[in-house]
Amino acid sequence: MVAGLLPWWITGWRPRGLGIWWLPLLAVGAGLIFLGGAVLLHAFARFVREGCGTPMPAAAPERLVVSGAYRYVRNPMYVAVLAVILGQALVLARLELVWYAVAVFVTCAGFVHLYEQPALHRRFGGAYEEYRRAVPAWMPRLRPWNP
């Protein structure tokens, strides 16, 4: 929905023709889409396999997931969705998608701050606080965190 239907609604998947000089940025955009999609699938699989749940609050994981992509950044799914949207902005050469990505980031950051962090603290206590202190929320670490 967030990285597919709404960007399509905004752009109709119609690229702007910017000429051959845009090709390097188009390649970067395609890379962001591919990498973001791969990270999103990987992070979701970790929730199911290791957390015994899903990202949805109604079927929340039973265990705190701190492996895989979660060793680098606390919110890999949100970061991956943002990468896909920014990749689409580059591939399609559409500034509207950059503004949309900003709106998605503000919404996600607010949700994380107001709901997710307090809920994870209540559910996992000190383990989550240790993880929260060690792993950044939005900018991935260069080296994986070892609990």
pLDDT tens, position by position, 38-72: 999 999 999 899 988 888 877 888 999 999 999 99
Mean pLDDT (whole number) for 121-144: 96
CA pair distance 82, 108, nearest whole angstrom: 10
Domain ranges of the chain: 20-134
pLDDT tens, position by position, 80-124: 999 999 999 999 999 999 999 999 999 999 999 999 999 999 999
Predicted structure pTM score: 0.93
Is-contact 103 7, C-beta < 8 A?
no
